[in-house]
Amino acid sequence: MARWAVATFGRQANRRTDAAGLVSALEARGLRVGGFRQEAATGDDAKAEVLVRIQGGDRALLGGTRSPATEGSCTFGFRDEAFEAGRRWLREDLPRSGVVVVHDVSKLELKGAGHAPAITEAIATQAPCVVLLLASGERLAQVLERFAPDDAPASWVELPAPPEEMDRFAAELAAAAR
């Protein structure tokens, strides 16, 4: 099994900015990082989420909405093609990365949908890398219950993190990826 780690978003976190900063910090410390992260995209009065592949910058529209939600409903729709792209990117990046990132583990994944199959598959591989799950700190217990194998995580950090915490986290991930 691949090793795994968790980065959670604290109350002061900006999920997209801190995820991008985490990837940059890991790369700056010499780790080859693969996988994907989410970005918000807006335009034409639409809200959209885009998956961005960390190695190469490929993009896939994850979903979006064109009208405001009415009370008790959600107008955000997801695209299966994006989840398939994310799964393919993880498969391709696992053998050539020290760390593969899955951003964002949300309610959808906790229900077994979205990126859940890709996460399960990535953790089950024999690749010498670390599968890094990014999720809300409020969902940490659920993420661990759903995806964590029996072994302890290679490391954990809460974002935003000071530089010394990022150094510790990167060092622990690098050691676990060998």
What are the residue boundaries of the structural domains of the chain, listed by start? 3-37+79-176
The predicted-structure confidence for 54-97, as pLDDT tens digits, reads as follows: 999 999 999 887 555 445 445 678 899 999 999 999 999 999 99
Quick one: pLDDT band at residue 151, thresholds 50, 70, 90? confident
The domain made up of 3-37+79-176 has a fold known as Rossmann fold (3.40.50)
pLDDT at residue 164 tops 90: yes
Quick one: pLDDT band at residue 161, thresholds 50, 70, 90? very high
The predicted-structure confidence for 113-143, as pLDDT tens digits, reads as follows: 999 999 999 999 988 899 999 999 999 999 9
132 Cβ contact partners less than 8 Å away, ≥ 6 residues apart: 4, 5, 6, 7, 35, 99, 100, 101, 102, 173
The sheet with strand 99-105 has its strands ordered as 77-78, 59-65, 46-53, 33-43, 99-105, 130-136, 3-9, 156-159
pTM of the model as a whole? 0.91
Sequence length of the chain is: 178
Torsion sign across C-alpha atoms 105, 111, 117, 121: positive
Report d(CA 6, CA 156) in Å as an integer: 5
Mapped onto helix, strand or coil, the DSSP state of residue 115 is: coil
